[in-house]
Structure 1
Amino acid sequence: MPSSVSWGVLLLAGLCCLLPGSLAEDTQGDAAQKTDTPPHDQDHPTLNKITPSLAEFAFSLYRQLAHQSNSTNIFFSPVSIATAFAMLSLGTKADTHSEILEGLNFNLTEIPEAQVHEGFQELLRTLNKPDSQLQLTTGNGLFLNKSLKVVDKFLEDVKNLYHSEAFSVNFEDTEEAKKQINNYVEKGTQGKIVDLVKELDRDTVFALVNYIFFKGKWERPFEVEATEEEDFHVDQATTVKVPMMRRLGMFNIYHCEKLSSWVLLMKYLGNATAIFFLPDEGKLQHLENELTHDIITKFLENENRRSANLHLPKLAITGTYDLKTVLGHLGITKVFSNGADLSGVTEDAPLKLSKDNAILCLMGCPPAGRPVLPGPQLPG
C-alpha cells in the first residue's frame, strides 16, 4: 500500500451488532498481528443467537438502498429499523406477522420467536449500558391516542421487551401531538434531531417512535490544525472540495482480496469501532455484493497495524428512506397491503400505517376500509 492514501469513494457501514466468529482470512501485504479471539459472551445467549440474522438483514437492506439510491450518500441504522419492525410484529398476526420476522432474516424453525424478542431486549439493554467514554442510547416511544383501547398484552410486551415508554396524546390536536413527539426525540438525541415530525394526520391513533444516538471520540484523535481542503472523488466524473482530516501514524489497515478493497478500522474511546472501506477502482458494487457478517467479524478479530498517512473526509450525512419498496424486496409486503392484520395492537377498529419521518403511525381506517399500510419512513 502506498504511504499516502487519499480516501476517494468511501463506504461507511451502518451500525449493526457484531460478535466474534472465526479467525480472519489472509490479508495482502505485511503479516497480520492476530489478537486473541474473545469468547462469546455467555451472559447473552439470546443476543448471540439473533446477531447473525440482524447483521445479514443490515447488509441486505444496504444493498437494496444502494440500488435505490444510485449515486447518493447512504446513511441508516439497521438496528433502529429492525427494532421498530420487530416491536410492531408483536401486534400483528397471521401472514403479516410471519413476513416481518422472516423479512428481518429470522428463521423461526431454528430460533423460537420468544428468543428473537428476548434477543432484542438484551441488545437494547447492552446498547444503553452506561459508558463513561462514549454515548450510545436508543429509545422507543409509544404515543397512544387518549381514546384508543390498546391490547394489554401488546402494551406489556413492548414495555418489557423493547424498553418502550408510553405517552397519552390527543392526535386531534395535531400541533400539540407533533410537539410532544418532537420534544421526545430532541431530548433523546441531545438536541441533534429537532422538528422531526413535520405533519401528522388527525386520524392518527398510535405512533411508534424509534431513535438511536451515538457520540464518541476517537481513541487517537485528529489534530484540528491538520485539517485542510482537499479533493474528494465522488465518482469518475465528479470531484468536490471537502475538509480532509489528516494524520500520519500506525493504523489497523490492510487490503482484502475478497472484497477488492482497502479496509480501515478505527477505535473510539470505549467499546466501539468504525470500519471504513475504500474499494479498488470500479469495484464498489463488488464490495457491496460481497460484504457479509462473517467478513466483518473477521476484520474485528484481526489486528494488522502499519504506517500510513491517512486522509479522511469530515462527514455530515443524513438519510430518509421510503421503506415500502425496499422492505418489499426483502419479503415484507403484507404489512403494506389492505390485508394487513394488526389486530394484536387494538381490536377497536381496523388500522392503517401512515408514513412519516422516523415514526410508524397507525391510523383509523374509513368505516368500509380494511387495514391499509402505505410505506413508512425511518431515519438513518
Structure 2
Amino acid sequence: MIKRIFFLTAIILIFQNLFFSCSSSRRQAGHHDDVNLQSERLISNKTVEMRNNSFAFDIFNELSDTSEENLVISPFSISTALAMTYAGAAGETAEQMSNTLFFERNQDVFHEEFSSWMNQIITRGAEKDQLRLANSLWPQEDYPFHEDFMKLIEKYYHSAFYKVNYKGDREAIRQQINLWVEKHTNNLIKDLIQPGILVEDTRLVLVNAIYFLSNWKIAFDQNATHNARFNVSSEKQVNVPFMFMRDTLNYFETEYFQAIELEYEGSGFSMMVMLPSIGQDLNRMINKMDAAGFLEIAEKMEKQNVEVYLPSFKVRSKFDLERMLAAMGMPYAFSNLADFSRMTPLDDLKIDKVIHEAFVDVHEEGTEAAASTAVVIIRKSAVIDDQKKVFRADRPFFFAIKENHTNSILFMGKIVNPELRAE
C-alpha cells in the first residue's frame, strides 16, 4: 500500500442578492492608496506565476500570524476560484480585486494568460496522472447572467455548469455540490458547504477542485522511520515518527534557515521544506518571505549530500476568508458597493462567503493532495560541496508543493506540532 501526503483545500464563493444600504460609502468600504500603489508596482511586468505566488505569501502570512497551530492552504485553488469571480467584476470592485489578488487589470489579457498558465500546470500534471483540476458554476436557474460571462468561464476555465433553484430545496443543492467536491478530491474533502450557508438569496456558487497524487522520486526508507523528539517550543517537546533519507538533494542554507527540495516522480513537481535555524522563529522567517525570495531560494539550491530527518504529519485547516480578503484590500466585493456588472445586468450581487479547507497527510512513499474552492454569491443585503549536510526538522517548519517549471506554489503550510494529526 502506498503511503502518501494528502493536500486538500476548498473555497466556497457564494454570491447573493444585494439591497443597497444608505449608510454605505466608498470611504467606509476602505480604499488604501498605498496598497494600490504597491500592488501596481508588483503587478506590472510580472509573470502570472510570480503574481500568484505574491498573493500566496500575502494570504498565508495573514493566516499564519493569527494561528500558532499546524496550517495548510492551496493558493492555486484560491486564486483560480477568485479568477473566475474576477471575470464578473467591474469598476472599483475589479480594481480592488486586481490589487489584492495581483491580477492583471486588463480582463481580456488576464484570463487568457491565467488560463494558459493553469493549463500548462495541468498538462504537466497529466503526463504522469499526478494533478487534476476541475471547476464548476452553480447558477440560479432564472437569474439573468450575462451570456458573455458564462462563455468566458467555459472557454478559459473549462467549467461545468449546473443550473439550480436556490428558492427551492437548498439542502439537496448543498449535498449535490458537496458530492461534486468529494468526487473531484478523491473523497478527501467532505461536507465543504455546511447547512445554512445557502439561502434563498443565493444566486451563484463557483467551485474549484484540485487533486494531486504522486510518489516521491526518492522514497523514504520505511524501515528507517523512528520515534524522536520534536521541539514544539522551548517548553514543550513531543515524540513523533521521523522519516529518514540519505541522498543527493537540492539544498540551500544561510545562518537563518536551511532549505531542501524533495522531488516527485518525473521531477515536474517537488516539495520545498524550510527549517529555521535553532533559536530563530518560524513565523518571523515566513513573514520575511515573498514571491521573489521564494524564487531566489529555489534558484540558489545546489546538489548536496544530505541526511533528512522529517516527521510524518497530517493536518487539516478550514477558514472563512471573506473578512480577511476584505481587510487585505478588496472590501467592495463583499459590500453593498459591489460591482459585478460584467456578470449580470442587475446591480444586485455581492460575495457572501469564501470558505477554504485544506488537508495534508505526509508519509514515506509519496504525496496525495486535493483542494477545492467555491465562491458563493448572494443578493446584496443590509485569501556543492561533498560534505554531508544534515536537515533535521525537529522544530516547527514551513513547506510548499510547487510546479518546478514555473515554481508556482500549489500548496503551502507550516507544521508546529506533528503530534496533532487531523482526521
- TM-score, normalised relative to structure 2: 0.70
**2-side partners of 1:113 and 1:352: how far apart?**
19
Deviates more, 1:264-273 or 1:198-207: 198-207
Is the CA contact 2:248–2:304 (under 8 Å) kept in the aligned structure 1? yes
**2-side partners of 1:329 and 1:354: how far apart?**
15
Deviation at 1:245, TM superposition (A): 0.9
Check if 1:82 corresponds to 2:79. yes
**2-side partners of 1:242 and 1:157: how far apart?**
49
1:89-100 paired onto structure 2 within 5 Å: 89-100=86-97
Cα RMSD for the two superposed structures: 2.6
Deviation at 1:346, TM superposition (A): 2.4
**1-side partners of 2:45 and 2:170: how far apart?**
38
Question: What is residue 316 of structure 2 aligned with on the other side?
Answer: 318
Question: What is residue 114 of structure 1 aligned with on the other side?
Answer: 108
Check if 1:55 corresponds to 2:53. yes
Is the CA contact 2:48–2:117 (under 8 Å) kept in the aligned structure 1? no
Deviation at 1:189, TM superposition (A): 1.2
Question: What is residue 258 of structure 2 aligned with on the other side?
Answer: 262
Question: What is residue 102 of structure 1 aligned with on the other side?
Answer: 99
| CA distances 1:248-297 after superposition (whole Å, capped 9, x unpaired) | 2333223134xx11011111112001100001222324421322323322
Question: What is residue 360 of structure 1 aligned with on the other side?
Answer: 375
Question: What is residue 38 of structure 2 aligned with on the other side?
Answer: none
Structure 1 residues 325 and 145 mapped into 2: Cα distance closer, same or farther (>3 Å)? closer
Q: What 5-or-longer segments of structure 1 have no aligned partner? A: 1-11, 15-45
Is the CA contact 1:80–1:210 (under 8 Å) kept in the aligned structure 2? yes
2:184 to 174, 181, 188: 188
Deviates more, 1:228-237 or 1:299-308: 299-308
Deviates more, 1:235-244 or 1:142-151: 235-244
Give the secondary structure class of the aligned counterpart of 2:153: helix
- Structure number with the higher strand fraction is 2
Q: Give, as a single letter, the amino acid of the residue that structure 1 aligns with 2:328.
A: L
1:150 to 122, 145, 149: 145
Question: What is residue 296 of structure 1 aligned with on the other side?
Answer: 294
**1-side partners of 2:326 and 2:316: how far apart?**
23
Give the secondary structure class of the aligned counterpart of 1:193: coil
Check if 1:252 corresponds to 2:250. yes
**2-side partners of 1:290 and 1:144: how far apart?**
41
Structure 1 residues 162 and 354 mapped into 2: Cα distance closer, same or farther (>3 Å)? same
| CA distances 1:151-174 after superposition (whole Å, capped 9, x unpaired) | 111111111122211111232212
**1-side partners of 2:131 and 2:173: how far apart?**
27
Is the CA contact 1:353–1:361 (under 8 Å) kept in the aligned structure 2? yes
**1-side partners of 2:98 and 2:46: how far apart?**
17
Q: What 5-or-longer segments of structure 2 have no aligned partner? A: 1-6, 10-43, 356-372, 384-410, 413-423
Structure 1 residues 219 and 48 mapped into 2: Cα distance closer, same or farther (>3 Å)? farther
Q: Give, as a single letter, the amino acid of the residue that structure 2 aligns with 1:62.
A: F
Larger relative contact order (C-alpha < 8 A, sep ≥ 6)?
2
Is the CA contact 1:218–1:268 (under 8 Å) kept in the aligned structure 2? yes
1:169 to 164, 167, 171: 164
**2-side partners of 1:131 and 1:67: how far apart?**
35
**2-side partners of 1:233 and 1:211: how far apart?**
35
Q: Give, as a single letter, the amino acid of the residue that structure 1 aligns with 2:158.
A: H
1:223-262 paired onto structure 2 within 5 Å: 223-257=221-255, 260-262=256-258
Is the CA contact 1:127–1:137 (under 8 Å) kept in the aligned structure 2? no
Is the CA contact 1:263–1:277 (under 8 Å) kept in the aligned structure 2? yes
Structure 1 residues 186 and 154 mapped into 2: Cα distance closer, same or farther (>3 Å)? same
Is the CA contact 1:47–1:120 (under 8 Å) kept in the aligned structure 2? no
